[in-house]
Protein backbone atom coordinates (compact mmCIF):
# COMPACT_ATOMS: atom_id res chain seq x y z
CA UNK A 1 0.00 0.00 0.00
CA UNK A 2 1.42 3.38 -1.03
CA UNK A 3 1.20 5.82 1.89
CA UNK A 4 2.47 9.41 1.73
CA UNK A 5 2.98 12.13 4.33
CA UNK A 6 4.34 15.50 3.17
CA UNK A 7 4.45 19.12 4.26
CA UNK A 8 5.13 22.52 2.76
CA UNK A 9 5.28 26.18 3.77
CA UNK A 10 2.44 27.15 1.40
CA UNK A 11 -0.36 25.62 -0.67
CA UNK A 12 1.78 25.38 -3.81
CA UNK A 13 4.78 23.69 -2.22
CA UNK A 14 2.66 21.20 -0.25
CA UNK A 15 0.65 20.25 -3.36
CA UNK A 16 3.84 19.78 -5.37
CA UNK A 17 5.35 17.62 -2.62
CA UNK A 18 2.30 15.35 -2.60
CA UNK A 19 2.23 15.02 -6.39
CA UNK A 20 5.98 14.37 -6.58
CA UNK A 21 5.71 11.63 -4.00
CA UNK A 22 2.92 9.92 -5.95
CA UNK A 23 4.65 10.38 -9.30
CA UNK A 24 7.82 8.77 -7.93
CA UNK A 25 5.89 5.60 -7.11
CA UNK A 26 2.31 4.54 -7.55
CA UNK A 27 -0.17 7.20 -8.77
CA UNK A 28 -2.59 5.77 -6.19
CA UNK A 29 -2.04 6.37 -2.48
CA UNK A 30 -3.91 5.59 0.71
CA UNK A 31 -4.06 7.46 4.00
CA UNK A 32 -2.32 10.52 2.59
CA UNK A 33 -1.35 13.38 4.91
CA UNK A 34 -0.56 16.86 3.57
CA UNK A 35 0.41 19.62 6.02
CA UNK A 36 0.43 23.27 4.95
CA UNK A 37 2.16 25.70 7.28
CA UNK A 38 0.56 28.84 5.81
CA UNK A 39 -2.61 27.87 3.91
CA UNK A 40 -3.24 31.47 2.83
CA UNK A 41 -0.02 31.66 0.84
CA UNK A 42 0.74 30.26 -2.62
CA UNK A 43 3.33 30.65 -5.38
CA UNK A 44 1.96 32.48 -8.48
CA UNK A 45 4.14 30.47 -10.89
CA UNK A 46 2.75 27.17 -9.65
CA UNK A 47 -0.80 28.51 -9.54
CA UNK A 48 -0.60 29.68 -13.16
CA UNK A 49 0.84 26.35 -14.27
CA UNK A 50 -1.89 24.37 -12.49
CA UNK A 51 -4.61 26.52 -14.05
CA UNK A 52 -2.99 25.95 -17.45
CA UNK A 53 -3.19 22.16 -17.07
CA UNK A 54 -6.78 22.32 -15.84
CA UNK A 55 -7.81 24.46 -18.82
CA UNK A 56 -6.02 22.14 -21.23
CA UNK A 57 -7.90 19.07 -20.03
CA UNK A 58 -11.23 20.88 -19.71
CA UNK A 59 -11.51 21.05 -15.92
CA UNK A 60 -12.57 23.83 -13.53
CA UNK A 61 -9.98 26.45 -12.61
CA UNK A 62 -8.37 26.45 -9.18
CA UNK A 63 -10.40 29.44 -7.98
CA UNK A 64 -13.68 27.85 -9.10
CA UNK A 65 -12.93 24.76 -7.03
CA UNK A 66 -11.80 26.86 -4.05
CA UNK A 67 -15.04 28.86 -4.16
CA UNK A 68 -17.15 25.74 -3.54
CA UNK A 69 -15.52 25.58 -0.10
CA UNK A 70 -15.20 29.29 0.59
CA UNK A 71 -16.56 32.13 -1.64
CA UNK A 72 -13.83 34.68 -0.99
CA UNK A 73 -15.25 37.45 -3.19
CA UNK A 74 -18.67 37.33 -1.52
CA UNK A 75 -17.08 37.25 1.92
CA UNK A 76 -15.01 40.32 1.09
CA UNK A 77 -18.17 42.34 0.44
CA UNK A 78 -20.18 41.02 3.40
CA UNK A 79 -20.02 42.91 6.72
CA UNK A 80 -20.00 39.72 8.79
CA UNK A 81 -20.48 35.95 8.77
CA UNK A 82 -24.25 36.03 9.20
CA UNK A 83 -24.71 38.32 6.20
CA UNK A 84 -22.31 36.13 4.21
CA UNK A 85 -24.40 33.07 5.06
CA UNK A 86 -27.65 34.86 4.15
CA UNK A 87 -26.33 36.02 0.78
CA UNK A 88 -24.86 32.65 -0.12
CA UNK A 89 -28.00 30.74 0.83
CA UNK A 90 -30.00 33.05 -1.43
CA UNK A 91 -27.58 32.31 -4.30
CA UNK A 92 -27.58 28.53 -3.91
CA UNK A 93 -30.54 27.78 -6.25
CA UNK A 94 -28.82 29.75 -9.04
CA UNK A 95 -25.45 28.08 -8.40
CA UNK A 96 -27.06 24.66 -8.70
CA UNK A 97 -28.80 25.58 -11.95
CA UNK A 98 -25.75 27.15 -13.57
CA UNK A 99 -23.32 24.26 -13.09
CA UNK A 100 -23.81 20.50 -13.24
CA UNK A 101 -20.94 20.19 -10.75
CA UNK A 102 -23.13 21.94 -8.17
CA UNK A 103 -26.32 19.99 -8.79
CA UNK A 104 -26.03 18.23 -5.44
CA UNK A 105 -24.91 21.40 -3.66
CA UNK A 106 -21.61 22.93 -2.55
CA UNK A 107 -19.50 22.47 0.56
CA UNK A 108 -19.98 26.05 1.68
CA UNK A 109 -23.71 25.65 1.07
CA UNK A 110 -23.75 22.76 3.51
CA UNK A 111 -21.83 24.86 6.04
CA UNK A 112 -24.29 27.77 6.00
CA UNK A 113 -27.52 25.93 5.18
CA UNK A 114 -27.24 22.27 6.14
CA UNK A 115 -30.63 20.58 5.45
CA UNK A 116 -31.40 19.53 9.01
CA UNK A 117 -34.63 17.91 10.15
CA UNK A 118 -35.93 21.21 11.47
CA UNK A 119 -34.75 23.35 8.55
CA UNK A 120 -31.46 24.85 7.32
CA UNK A 121 -28.69 25.04 9.93
CA UNK A 122 -26.03 27.77 9.79
CA UNK A 123 -23.03 25.82 11.05
CA UNK A 124 -20.47 28.49 10.11
CA UNK A 125 -22.00 30.98 12.52
CA UNK A 126 -22.19 28.32 15.25
CA UNK A 127 -18.46 27.64 14.99
CA UNK A 128 -17.50 31.32 15.00
CA UNK A 129 -19.83 32.10 17.93
CA UNK A 130 -18.40 29.21 19.94
CA UNK A 131 -14.84 30.32 19.25
CA UNK A 132 -15.64 33.88 20.33
CA UNK A 133 -17.26 32.57 23.50
CA UNK A 134 -14.30 30.33 24.33
CA UNK A 135 -11.60 32.91 23.61
CA UNK A 136 -13.41 35.32 25.94
CA UNK A 137 -12.44 32.93 28.77
CA UNK A 138 -8.75 33.74 28.34
CA UNK A 139 -7.36 35.04 31.61
CA UNK A 140 -10.36 33.85 33.65
CA UNK A 141 -8.56 30.87 35.13
CA UNK A 142 -10.42 28.23 33.12
CA UNK A 143 -9.08 29.05 29.67
CA UNK A 144 -10.70 28.26 26.30
CA UNK A 145 -11.34 24.73 25.07
CA UNK A 146 -8.70 23.74 22.54
CA UNK A 147 -10.29 20.94 20.49
CA UNK A 148 -14.05 21.39 20.69
CA UNK A 149 -14.65 22.84 17.21
CA UNK A 150 -15.86 20.07 14.93
CA UNK A 151 -17.07 20.44 11.38
CA UNK A 152 -17.90 16.86 10.42
CA UNK A 153 -18.91 16.48 6.79
CA UNK A 154 -20.16 12.90 6.88
CA UNK A 155 -23.06 11.57 8.93
CA UNK A 156 -22.99 7.80 9.63
CA UNK A 157 -26.69 7.18 9.11
CA UNK A 158 -30.20 8.63 9.19
CA UNK A 159 -30.84 7.74 12.81
CA UNK A 160 -27.59 9.41 13.87
CA UNK A 161 -28.15 12.74 12.11
CA UNK A 162 -28.18 15.39 14.87
CA UNK A 163 -30.99 17.84 15.29
CA UNK A 164 -30.15 21.53 14.65
CA UNK A 165 -29.85 22.28 18.37
CA UNK A 166 -27.36 19.46 18.81
CA UNK A 167 -25.38 20.64 15.79
CA UNK A 168 -25.01 24.10 17.26
CA UNK A 169 -24.00 22.77 20.65
CA UNK A 170 -21.36 20.42 19.26
CA UNK A 171 -20.16 22.58 16.37
CA UNK A 172 -20.68 19.55 14.18
CA UNK A 173 -20.97 20.87 10.63
CA UNK A 174 -22.53 18.20 8.44
CA UNK A 175 -22.08 18.15 4.66
CA UNK A 176 -23.22 14.68 3.66
CA UNK A 177 -26.98 14.03 3.95
CA UNK A 178 -27.33 10.27 4.53
CA UNK A 179 -30.71 9.85 2.86
CA UNK A 180 -29.58 11.79 -0.21
CA UNK A 181 -25.81 11.42 -0.77
CA UNK A 182 -25.54 7.70 -1.38
CA UNK A 183 -23.87 7.65 -4.81
CA UNK A 184 -20.84 5.35 -4.82
CA UNK A 185 -18.90 7.47 -7.36
CA UNK A 186 -16.45 10.35 -7.43
CA UNK A 187 -18.17 13.59 -6.72
CA UNK A 188 -19.86 15.68 -4.08
CA UNK A 189 -19.43 15.22 -1.19
CA UNK A 190 -15.92 13.76 -0.96
CA UNK A 191 -15.02 15.99 1.98
CA UNK A 192 -16.02 14.06 5.10
CA UNK A 193 -14.78 15.99 8.08
CA UNK A 194 -13.16 19.23 9.17
CA UNK A 195 -12.16 20.19 12.69
CA UNK A 196 -10.59 23.28 14.18
CA UNK A 197 -8.01 23.33 16.94
CA UNK A 198 -7.48 26.45 19.04
CA UNK A 199 -4.10 26.73 20.68
CA UNK A 200 -3.89 29.11 23.59
CA UNK A 201 -1.47 31.42 21.83
CA UNK A 202 -4.49 32.70 19.89
CA UNK A 203 -3.91 30.65 16.73
CA UNK A 204 -6.52 28.50 15.00
CA UNK A 205 -5.50 25.36 13.10
CA UNK A 206 -7.64 23.05 10.96
CA UNK A 207 -7.72 19.44 9.83
CA UNK A 208 -9.85 18.15 6.94
CA UNK A 209 -10.47 14.59 5.77
CA UNK A 210 -11.51 13.42 2.29
CA UNK A 211 -12.79 9.94 1.52
CA UNK A 212 -11.13 10.30 -1.90
CA UNK A 213 -9.08 12.99 -3.59
CA UNK A 214 -8.18 13.74 -7.22
CA UNK A 215 -4.82 15.46 -6.98
CA UNK A 216 -4.98 17.35 -10.30
CA UNK A 217 -8.68 18.02 -10.71
CA UNK A 218 -9.51 19.05 -7.15
CA UNK A 219 -6.69 18.98 -4.58
CA UNK A 220 -5.00 22.36 -5.21
CA UNK A 221 -8.33 24.19 -5.24
CA UNK A 222 -9.51 22.28 -2.18
CA UNK A 223 -6.38 23.17 -0.23
CA UNK A 224 -6.80 26.82 -1.18
CA UNK A 225 -10.52 26.87 -0.31
CA UNK A 226 -9.94 25.19 3.04
CA UNK A 227 -7.14 27.65 3.81
CA UNK A 228 -9.40 30.58 3.03
CA UNK A 229 -12.16 29.11 5.18
CA UNK A 230 -9.73 28.68 8.07
CA UNK A 231 -8.45 32.22 7.60
CA UNK A 232 -11.97 33.65 7.57
CA UNK A 233 -13.13 31.79 10.68
CA UNK A 234 -9.93 32.76 12.50
CA UNK A 235 -10.35 36.40 11.49
CA UNK A 236 -14.00 36.54 12.51
CA UNK A 237 -13.07 35.12 15.91
CA UNK A 238 -10.13 37.50 16.37
CA UNK A 239 -7.51 34.75 16.03
CA UNK A 240 -4.43 34.11 13.91
CA UNK A 241 -4.49 31.58 11.07
CA UNK A 242 -2.45 28.46 11.78
CA UNK A 243 -1.62 25.22 10.01
CA UNK A 244 -3.93 23.24 7.73
CA UNK A 245 -3.65 19.45 7.58
CA UNK A 246 -5.52 17.52 4.87
CA UNK A 247 -5.86 13.75 4.90
CA UNK A 248 -7.42 11.42 2.33
CA UNK A 249 -8.36 7.78 2.61
CA UNK A 250 -7.66 7.31 -1.09
CA UNK A 251 -5.90 9.66 -3.51
CA UNK A 252 -5.14 9.48 -7.24
CA UNK A 253 -2.63 11.48 -9.30
CA UNK A 254 -5.03 11.97 -12.21
CA UNK A 255 -3.81 13.46 -15.52
CA UNK A 256 -0.32 12.36 -14.51
CA UNK A 257 1.24 12.96 -17.93
CA UNK A 258 0.00 16.56 -18.10
CA UNK A 259 1.04 17.35 -14.52
CA UNK A 260 4.52 15.83 -14.64
CA UNK A 261 6.21 18.92 -16.23
CA UNK A 262 4.99 21.03 -13.29
CA UNK A 263 6.77 18.85 -10.77
CA UNK A 264 10.15 20.34 -11.65
CA UNK A 265 9.07 23.84 -10.58
CA UNK A 266 11.07 25.10 -7.61
CA UNK A 267 9.21 27.17 -5.05
CA UNK A 268 11.44 29.64 -3.13
CA UNK A 269 11.60 28.95 0.57
CA UNK A 270 10.69 32.56 1.24
CA UNK A 271 7.01 32.41 0.33
CA UNK A 272 4.90 35.25 -1.11
CA UNK A 273 3.29 37.48 1.50
CA UNK A 274 0.25 35.79 3.02
CA UNK A 275 -3.11 37.19 2.02
CA UNK A 276 -4.66 39.57 4.54
CA UNK A 277 -6.71 37.86 7.23
CA UNK A 278 -10.42 38.59 7.32
CA UNK A 279 -11.48 40.46 10.42
- Give pLDDT tens digits for 144-186: 656 555 554 444 343 334 443 333 333 334 454 444 444 444 4
Q: What average pLDDT does the segment 55-59 reach?
A: 97
Q: What is the pLDDT of residue 233?
A: 97
Confidence of residue 200 (pLDDT cuts 50, 70, 90): confident
Residues in the chain: 279
Q: What are the domain boundaries of the chain?
A: 3-239+247-264
How do residues 67-115 score in pLDDT, each as one tens digit? Answer: 999 999 999 999 999 999 999 999 988 888 887 777 777 899 889 987 7
Describe the crossing of helices 11-24 and 44-56 by its angle, rounded to 10 degrees.
60
Rounded Cα distance between 173 and 153, Å, is: 6
CA-atom Rg of the chain in angstroms: 18
- The pTM of this model reads 0.83
Distances (CA, A) of 9 to 27, 34, 227, 270: 23, 11, 13, 9
How do residues 110-152 score in pLDDT, each as one tens digit? Answer: 899 877 778 888 889 999 999 998 888 766 556 665 655 555 4
Rounded Cα distance between 178 and 156, Å, is: 7
Amino acid sequence: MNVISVSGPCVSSAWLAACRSMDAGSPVAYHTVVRIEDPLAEDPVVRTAVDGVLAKVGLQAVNTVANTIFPAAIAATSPGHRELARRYEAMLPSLRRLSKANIHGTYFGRLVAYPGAGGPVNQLSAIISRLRSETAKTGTGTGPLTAAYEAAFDAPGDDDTPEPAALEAALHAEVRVPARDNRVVYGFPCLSHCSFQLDRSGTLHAMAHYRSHLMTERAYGNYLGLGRLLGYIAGQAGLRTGQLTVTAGYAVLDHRKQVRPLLSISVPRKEPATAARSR
